[in-house]
Amino acid sequence: MRFVLRSKIHRATVTQANINYIGSITIDEDLIEKAGFWLGEKVLIVSNTSGARLETYLIDGKRNSGIICMNGASSLLIKKDEEIIIMGFELTDKPIKSTNILVDKNNKFVRYL
């Protein structure tokens, strides 16, 4: 069994950072669906801006809002306006085809990668 990449949102821009939320990352519901994520799923987030890496879980934000909000302690590591990659993995014994999406600076879907 291996952990392999299953879903990815590439080059998203953090629109908000909310230290007062309990935890997680809020993502536009449309992007969650396009990338094939599940609500509550554990994700790895990597900042192309600062190099920070962290794991958290996702919650849904308003559809077509472009929201990418770092919540709780994660907002201390990855801040508003940073460019990030959001990745979900699957434990499997067979190769799988991942769903990878590219978004623009406003976190609007551009294309599948």
SS3 20: coil
Give Cα 35 to chain centroid, integer Å.
Answer: 9
Instruction: Indicate the DSSP class of residue 88.
Output: E
Contact 100, 6 (CB under 8 A): no
End-to-end CA distance of the chain, in Å?
A: 25
Active site residues: 24, 57
* 8 Cβ contact list (under 8 Å, min separation 6): 35, 85, 86, 87, 88, 98, 99, 100, 101, 113
